[in-house]
Each structure stands twice: as structure tokens, then as C-alpha cells.
Amino acid sequence: MNFAERSIEIIKENQHPGGAYVASPNFSNYKYCWLRDGAFIANAMDQVGEHESSKAFYHWVNETILRNQGKLLSLFAKEQLGEKLEPQDFLACRYTLEGLDTNDDWPNFQLDGYGTWLWGLSEHIKLTNNLQLLEQFKESIEGTIKYLSKFWRLPNSDCWEENADKVHPSTLACIYGGLAAINQFLQRTDIEDLTAAIKEFLLKEAIFQKRFVKYLGSTSVDSSLLWLTVPFNVFSPDDPYIINTVKVIEERLLHEGGVHRFPEDTYYGGGEWLLLSSWLGWYYTEVGRLPEAKKQLAWVESQTDEEGLMPEQVLHHVNDPAYIAKWEAQWGLVAKPLIWSHAMYLVLFSQLKKLTN
């Protein structure tokens, strides 16, 4: 089986005609499009040359943000008046495939997706030289920049939809990455100042024992901390804090190629996530550890079923087996396919192909 070709096929099959990527078609709680997942999926499609698919997603995001301009303006006005802001006042992290609000009790205030869409869009423009998107999407880009500029310090849910009362370095990485990427085109000093402030904040508030922490006030680790370097480049891959963070990820979260989210994870027992295994491999390509990157790629391929479908996580090695039955009873079997798993596999595949050809 050609895993890359099959992954492209699966992503295309699960892209809505309007451009949205469904997180997972067979898992009821994931039948939506997250801006964060979607931007990473779109970037994977860009990396394998499927630019029309990626462009359709960015058009969908643009239209979705424009549809929420009234909500944004109300939020800015409320903030200006010093009124208390409620979670429902903010833009959502996920939408229906038609770009509409979900109107449910999901922890929907997450800033990571808005940073990630700016980053992904910027990468798309660089790869395709489609500079007209900057003008075409100007209103949604400016609204997103203002949104992130005003609220980046606020606690909000992390990329795992948890810890809504905390500030998360991986979320700040997404915000930094998006602002820095779009500013390559805009060249604005206020954005430069903001990204510098975010980096300074991380160095001041998010370090424990010379490494980064899962969230401010924690001493734990999370594999999403890889985002601080790959792809958002808040810190270089050889920065001592990054090296120390990766070492702890390898010690506590890596198991024979499989990568756990964080040590305390009990979602479906806390298994090994394919997208994180690919992410660690992506980091390895950045620092020249190619044999280890290839091992990560092979591990992800080995978790693929006979139809070429990749799950969210596998449960061979979990943090707490007692939680597997609990989650299966509540939500069914682990999501499969998870489109983000296929996307990150494609990213690692593409990076290795560039380096070994």
C-alpha cells in the first residue's frame, strides 16, 4: 500500500464541498471542522502539491470569520467598555462543515486555531505565490490579528479541549507562529512587538527546570510543546530549552515510536497518538536525526488498518487501562480515520522525501 497516496485520497474524500475538513467522519463528536486541525491538514495538502484543496479550506475560513464579524465587533466593544467577557462571547474553535456555530456546550474558546490559520494561509501564499489572497482575505486577516492581539494572554482551552482556566505554551506558539508568518507580508512593527512580547512571556512564565511546561503553573510536559519549534519557530530546534523539552518528551511520552499526549492523560486510557508520532519525526528531520525520523514514519504506517485508515490513537500502551472501557461506553471506539493523523503523516513523509532524495 502507498500510504501517502492513500492519505491524500482519504483527506480529499473528507473535505466538504465548501472547503472544510471534517475531523473524523465516523465519530459523532468530531463531525465538525476545527480551524487548528484544518490548517494543519491544509498545510499537509500544500506540502504534497494539492494546492486547490488547501485553497478551498482557506476560503472556507475566510467566509466563516466574515460571517462572525458582528460577533467580533460586539466582543471588541464589550472589552473596550471593561465588561466581563464570557466564553460564548469569543469566536468558536470549531464549526459545522457549513461554517455555522455548533450551539453546544463544547469548550469552544480556543485561540490556537486562529493563529494556526494565519500561519497556514501564509505558508500557502508562499508556496503558490497567490498574493491576491492577502487583499481578498484582508478583513478576516485584520480581524484575526486584532482578536489575537487583544486576548492572547487570556486562559483558554488547550489543543486537547482541556484546562480552559490555564494559559498554554502550545497555544501561544500557534499565536506567535501565525502573527510572525503573516507579518512576513505585512511588515508591521506592532506585530513584531507583539511576537517579541509573547516570546519574552514564555521565557519568563513557562519554564521549569530549564524546559517548557504543559501550562503555566504546571511542572508537567505535553507533546504539543513541539509546536514551540516545529513549525512555529518561536525557538530554534537547537535552543537549549527546546532540547531539554524534547528530552523529557522522549523520556516520559515516547514508547517504541508511539507518542502519548501527556503523562496524566486518561482519554481512552491515554494511548499513543499517530499525529504526535509524526510530529516528533518532523522535529527529528529538523535536527538531522533522520534514522529516528524514519522510525517514526514506519511506526505510524504500522498502525494503519487494511483499508489504509489511521486512527486518532492506538491503545497498545496506555497510561491507565481502566479508562478504555469508560470512554468506549461513552463515545464508542477510538475515532478512525482521524484526518489530522493522515495529514501529519504526509508532512513527515514529505519532509523525509525532500531530505533523502
Torsion sign across C-alpha atoms 90, 221, 225, 209: positive
Q: Within 10 Å of residue 193's Cβ, how many Cβ atoms? A: 11
What does the alpha-carbon distance between residue 191 and residue 64 come to, in Å, rounded to a whole number?
24
Backbone φ and ψ of 89, nearest 5°: -75, -25
Q: Which residue has the cell 463515545?
A: 331
E-assigned strand segments in 197-240: 207-208, 211-212
Q: Cite the active site residues.
A: 158, 161, 312
What does the alpha-carbon distance between residue 44 and residue 52 come to, in Å, rounded to a whole number?
12
Q: Within 10 Å of residue 302's Cβ, how many Cβ atoms? A: 10
| CB contact set of 281 (below 8 Å; sequence gap of 6+) | 292, 293, 294, 295, 296, 297, 300, 348, 352
Q: Which residue has the cell 486541525?
A: 37
What does the alpha-carbon distance between residue 107 and residue 66 come to, in Å, rounded to a whole number?
22
Q: Which residue has the cell 501550562?
A: 215
Query: DSSP letters of 28-41?
Result: GGG-SEEHHHHHHH
